[in-house]
Structure 1
Amino acid sequence: MKSFSIQESKRNMKNSSPKYIEISKAIIAKIEAGELLPGDKVPSENELINMYKISNTTARKSLLEVELQGWANRIKGKGTFVLNRSEDKHLTRILGSFHAIKESFSDNLVKEGFTPKNVTLEKTIIDSGISININGKNYIIEGNVLKIRRLRYADELLLKDETRYVSMALCPKMNMMELNQAFLKIYEDKYHLKLDSVQRTLSTTVTYPEEENNYFENNLPLSVFILDSAVICENQKVVEIEHSLYRGDKYKFSIHTKPQLISEKK
């Protein structure tokens, strides 16, 4: 969750309005300033109680006011999350953040106020292995590979044509599982794999209406992002290879770089 300046918010509060109104305005101000982004979690009731020394009722009314004003969406058992209010409904995703990669595609959409839908086109086992070249290096999964191709929708609009290849040697019987959570969490929680890194490249292309296997239903040429990636374990074995297409008129990608990575390149 993004940092929340308590003192600044307190200074801006006016005594003329009910406290829950002023707290809700402080939260909304953080959203408008970009300090809380679509999908980010808003401070919880307990956090607001500790910040402002208020009652449960005031904290609850503060969050409800933010929701009623159309800035956030409460998800039972998870919290209150900032809605996507951009006019063009662009989705911004972070590249380079391991935490962001581990979040579920569908859960992220729900947090931003969309209704997700997944359509599985293919779920088969291929026995010839798979390889991909990323940044000039070949990444290989040998033996049996689970191929999963899914169409990922938000409010009935196709956003992502996703194809993943998973090592059956590292993830046996994954073909029999319900794949309702982020794959990286499945690798860690179900198969107890220790993940080392995710290598990714992002490129662009244009897809045309008449192209075979084009599911975007575009009437005009459409720009798409191509995301190729390989998930590598600590023993340097490749557990997953991905080749996915993202709708170019609905996505923005943000680059996340740690200071130590910059130092290493100098």
Structure 2
Amino acid sequence: MHEIEIPKYLIIYNSIIDRIKNNELIPGTKVPSENEIIKEYNVSNTTARKVLQEIENAGWAVKIRGKGTFVKDFIVNRSATKILSFTRNMIEQGLNPSTVVLDSEIIDQDWSINVSGKVYLIPGPIFKLKRLRLANDVPMMHETRFISLTCCPKIWEHDLQGSLYKLYNERYYRYITKIEQDLSAISLDEYSKKEFGIQKEMVGIKVEGITFCEKEMILEAEESIYRGDKYKFSVQAIP
């Protein structure tokens, strides 16, 4: 059985993309030019042009006439139909995730949230946690989680800068069975722009959701704001 030969342009493409993912080529810097690719990889100008075109088509770079092709700020793909933590989502896309805990408090009262036209109630006490999530040190989203202390008692004693999903699984043996979310486009308010370190007007994506674990128990509620210039949500529909 013959091995499938990988096209030369694809090998070069993957090599350059790896350099972008590893921050060897940061946003705003030029990717190797057509002539540089020809010399470095000993390929034709047709192959070199295809490499640059594929990099641009994939959204990693933009071509500026007369100047060259430059690395774009990264865009994160997030599935709206798959349970995936921020940490894992970033790692899968070659980015380095980090978290800043902004605030936290215990709420003794019940907490309610409206998702998809239905009101859900989390019995108190609740642990309210605000965090800023970053990728490669770039603020990506800020979130407020309302965590059931019935499901996760004394959760504040653990590391809250990593994946909460992992914490739920490994410390409390709570396994997520379902997440329901509403997504809506909004204009970022002053608080969000301050947290993201931006001044210009920008569209954001607001996510309100409810997370269930075994026996239909409500594990947490979520109110998050994603940067509209950093995220692209994808949905898979099956007839």
TM-score between both structures, scaled by the size of structure 1: 0.62
Given that 2:107 and 2:128 are in contact with CA atoms closer than 8 Å, whether structure 1 keeps it comes out as yes
1:88 equivalent to 2:73? Answer: yes
Given that 2:98 and 2:162 are in contact with CA atoms closer than 8 Å, whether structure 1 keeps it comes out as no
- Which residue pairs with 2:227 in the alignment? 247
SS at match of 1:193: coil
Q: 1:107 to 1:194 in 2, by over 3 A?
A: closer
1:197 equivalent to 2:163? Answer: no
Q: How many residues align?
A: 193
- Which residue pairs with 1:165 in the alignment? 146
1:124 equivalent to 2:105? Answer: yes
1:217 equivalent to 2:202? Answer: no
Q: 1:230 aligns with which of 202, 210, 215?
A: 210
User: How far apart, in 1, do the equivalents of 2:140 and 2:220 lie?
Assistant: 21
Q: Percent identity?
A: 28
**Paired amino acid for 1:97:** K
- Which residue pairs with 1:71 in the alignment? 18
Given that 1:226 and 1:243 are in contact with CA atoms closer than 8 Å, whether structure 2 keeps it comes out as yes
Matches within 5 A, 1:37-116: 68-71=15-18, 85=60, 87-98=72-83, 101=84, 103=85, 105-116=86-97
SS at match of 2:196: coil
Moved more, 197-206 or 173-182: 173-182
What is the deviation of 1:180? 4.6
User: How far apart, in 2, do the equivalents of 1:140 and 1:195 lie?
Assistant: 17
What is the deviation of 1:246? 0.2
Given that 1:71 and 1:85 are in contact with CA atoms closer than 8 Å, whether structure 2 keeps it comes out as no
Q: What are the Cα deviations for residues 222-242 of structure 1, in whole angstroms up to 9, with x where unaligned?
A: 110001110112322211100
SS at match of 2:195: coil
SS at match of 1:215: helix
Question: Which 4+ runs in 1 deviate beyond 6 A?
Answer: none
What is the deviation of 1:208? 4.2
- Which residue pairs with 2:165 in the alignment? 184
Q: 1:155 aligns with which of 136, 161, 165?
A: 136
User: How far apart, in 2, do the equivalents of 1:171 and 1:114 lie?
Assistant: 29
User: How far apart, in 2, do the equivalents of 1:107 and 1:233 lie?
Assistant: 19
SS at match of 2:168: helix
What is the deviation of 1:113? 3.8
- Which residue pairs with 1:256 in the alignment? 236
TM-score between both structures, scaled by the size of structure 2: 0.69
What is the deviation of 1:212? 8.1
User: How far apart, in 2, do the equivalents of 1:221 and 1:156 lie?
Assistant: 21
**Paired amino acid for 1:92:** N
User: How far apart, in 1, do the equivalents of 2:90 and 2:174 lie?
Assistant: 27
